[in-house]
Chains A and B, each alone.
Chain A
């Protein structure tokens, strides 16, 4: 079975500061990993995905994530936070034979002006 743990349900950063959102996964087979963003009263929008190619993955809006097998991690980063980045972020894991995504409980990002 697969699972995801997102450390820190709430993260606050100043505008222009580094954003780091943590995701650790558990999977008995090679995983596929995804980060999604959710704005209030909206669905989830894909930020980026890791599907066994390059371990450093670049996504939309300046976000990137690095797959580290030894640490079973897939942390999301952005060098400089914008006010528009304030939202809920979800990490998800899947596998090649899987039929569903397993989501973490989410991290709410607040950007302080």
Chain B
């Protein structure tokens, strides 16, 4: 069990630029989640995949955000035309199974700073 891996750990970019983050889940986990966490808050759900299918998206996920999990393994989260309000920690998590009682295993996150 190598754990959930996220890359990069930190990203600093100018407002208006596009950024892409990668998440590699635990290998046998079929579910993959993206969360956003701002200072002093708990993680907020953005979207989740069951294998390669994106099954749910939060209202927080504006049209500038897109996520993919093309082969049901790793996932990418892209933010287009970044804004100051996008500055946050982006967390990826994975779990095994089809019900909500399975714990989610988190990566160390990608911290995004918008200049």
Contacts and interface: CB of A to CB of B under 8 A. Distances in A.
B103 A34 contact: yes
Interface stretch (B13-21, B37-45, B64-72, B75-83): B37-45
A96 interface: yes
Contacts of B74: none
Contacts of B33: 100
Given A43-B4, A103-B43, A106-B42, A97 B100 contact: yes
A103 B42 contact: yes
B111 interface: yes
B101 A94 contact: yes
Contact of A104 (B4, B42, B58, B100): B42
A4 B45 CA distance: 14
Interface residues of B, number: 26
B42 A32 contact: no
B99 interface: yes
Interface in A85-111: 90, 92, 94-106
A46 B100 contact: no
Contacts of B40: 9, 105-106
Contacts of A99: 48, 55-56, 100
Nearest to A91: B42
A100 B43 CA distance: 11
B45 A100 contact: yes
Interface of A: 4, 9, 32, 34, 36, 41-46, 49, 51-52, 90, 92, 94-106
